[in-house]
Amino acid sequence: MGTVLLIAIPVVLLLGILFVVITMMYVKASPNRAIILSGLRKEPRFLIGQGGIKIPALERADYLYLGQISVDIKTGQSVPTNDFINVRVDAVAKVAVAKDIEGRKIAALNFLNMKPEEIATSLQDSLEGNMREIIGTLDLKDINTDRDSFSDQVVSKASKDMRNLGIDIISCNIQNVTDDNGLIVDLGADNTAKIKKDAAISRAQAERDVAIAQAAASKESNDAKVKAELEIAQRQTDLAIRKAELQKQSDIKRAEADAAYEIQNQEQQKSIQTATVNAEIAKTEREQELKQKQVAVREQELAAEIQKKADADKYAIEVQAQAELAKQQRDAEARLYIQQKEAEAQKAQAEAKKYAMEQEAAGIKAKGEAEAAAIRAKGEAEAAAMDKKAEAMKKYGKAAMAQMAIEILPQVAAEIAKPLTAIDKISIIGGGEDGASVGPIAGNVPLVLAKTFQSVKESTGVDLADIMRSESYDAKVTRNVNVTGDTTPDETAKIAAVAKAIDEKSK
C-alpha cells in the first residue's frame, strides 16, 4: 500500500502540473475575433471561433476584430458638385475585415490589436476622400434624386482602396445633403408646386370620372330595379296560381284521407274490442294462477317466519343468558375492586391520621416548652425588677416614695375630677356675683388633693406639697428644697400646677 502511494502521489502531481500548463497554453477565439499566433512558424496561424495551443516564450497571441464596423463619413468643408454648387454630405459606411486569408493577413498588418473605434477612425479619411471625388462628378439634382446610385459609386470607388487595407465595404448610406445657398430648398419648392399642380389636375379628372361613373351606375341601377320589380310581379302571379292548384289537390287528398281514416278507425276499433275481450279472459286466468302461487308462497313464508322466529327466540335467550353471566362477573369484579380501593383508602387515611397526630403532639410539646421558657424568663425578669426596685427603695427611702407618689398624682387628679365630667346640666338658683355659685364645685378638686396630701404626710411622713413646691423659685433659692428622680419636664409642669392650686386653696 505504501509503495502504491509513493508511486501515485508523484503521478497525480505531475498530471496536475501538466493540466495547469495546458490550461495556460490553451487559447480560444470567439467568432467575431481572430487570434493570430506567430513566432514559431513562418506563416502565422489564424484561430477564428476555435481554440489552439500557444507555446509560451516561443509564440505570441495577437487579436484582430472581425465584426461589422460603422464609419461616419462627413465632409467637414463644402465640396463643389459637377454643376459647381458647394454641398456637404453625411454618410455612414458599414465595413468589415476581408473574409479570405490574404485579406486577413493584410488587415492584420494594418489593424492588429486595434479596437473597432480605432479601426473606424483610421478608415474615415480614406472613405471621405473617395466620397469627395464622387461628389465632383455628379450634379446636385442627381445627388438628391438618385442617392442609391451615388452610394453605389462611392462603394465602387472606395472598394479598391479598402481592399488594399484588407477591408470589405458592406454598404454605404447617404444620410443628409445640404448646401450653403439653400438651392436644395428651392428645388424642393419647385417640385412641390409641380406636384401640387399635377395633384389638382389629377383630382379634377378623378372627380369627373367619378361623376360619370355615378350617373351610369344610377341608370343601370334604375333599369335593374324596374326589371326586378316586373319579374317579382310575374313571380307573385305564378305563385298565386300554383298555390290555388296545390290547395285544390290538397283538399281532394284530405277528403280521401279522411274517408280512409274513418274506415280504418272502425276496423281498428273492432280489432281493439276483440283484443280487449281476449285480454280480459287471459287476465282472469292469469289472476287465478297468480292467486294460487301467492297462497303457496305465503304458506312457505309463514313456515319460514315461524322457524326463523323460533331460532331468533332461542338465540336471544342464549345471548341474554350469556349477557347476565357476563354482567354478574363484571359486577363481582367491580365490587372486589371497590373493596380493595376502599381498604387502600382506609389504610392511607389511618397512616395520614397517625402522622397528623404525631405532628400535633410534637407541636403541643414544642409549644409547651416555649411557653414554659417564656414564663420562666418573664418570672426571672420580674424578680430582677423587684430586686432592683427594692434596692432603690432601700437606698433612696423617702425620696423614692415621694417619686412614686408624684408619678401617680396626675392619675389621682383625673379620678377626682372624673365625677364632674358626668354632670350633664347644672341649674343654680340665686348665688352671688362673679361666678360665686360655681366656685365651690370647681374648687372641690384642690380640696380633695390637699386632704390626700395630708393623709400621705401623716401615714408616711412625706410632705408632697412641700416636695411639689420645690420646683418654685422660692423653694430652690430660699428654702433649698430639691427632689432627685427621673421626672420629665411635662410631669414637672403638671406637679407645679397642682401644687400652686393646692397652695391657693389652703390660703
Identity of residue 434: D
DSSP 290-330: HHHHHHHHHHHHHHHHHHHHHHHHHHHHHHHHHHHHHHHHH
Q: What is the pLDDT along the chain (507 residues), one digit of tens a residue?
A: 667 777 777 777 888 877 776 777 788 888 889 999 888 888 888 888 888 888 877 888 899 999 999 999 988 788 888 888 888 899 999 999 999 999 999 999 999 999 999 999 999 999 999 999 888 888 888 888 788 888 888 898 899 889 999 999 999 988 888 887 777 766 655 566 566 677 778 877 888 888 888 888 888 888 888 888 888 888 888 888 888 888 888 888 887 887 787 788 788 888 888 888 788 888 888 888 888 888 888 888 888 888 888 788 888 888 888 888 888 888 878 888 888 888 788 888 878 888 878 887 787 878 778 887 887 788 788 777 767 766 665 555 555 556 666 666 666 666 666 665 665 555 555 555 444 455 555 556 566 666 676 766 766 666 666 665 654 444 444 444 444 444 455 655 555 555 555 555 444
**244 grid coordinates:** 290555388
Distance set, CA 490 to CA 206, 332, 405, 416, 496 (Å):
143, 90, 16, 20, 10
Q: How far is the C-alpha of 331 from the C-alpha of 413, rounded, in Å?
A: 89
pTM: 0.36
User: Structural domain boundaries of the chain?
Assistant: 23-66, 67-181, 397-420+439-506
N-to-C CA span, the chain: 141
The x, y and z cell numbers of residue 136, run together, are 465632383
CATH no. of 67-181? 3.30.479.30
Pairwise CA distance, residues 96 & 111, whole Å: 11
Kindly write down the DSSP assignment for every residue of 18-36, as one continuous string. HHHHHHHHEEE--TTEEEE
SS3 assignment, position 42: coil
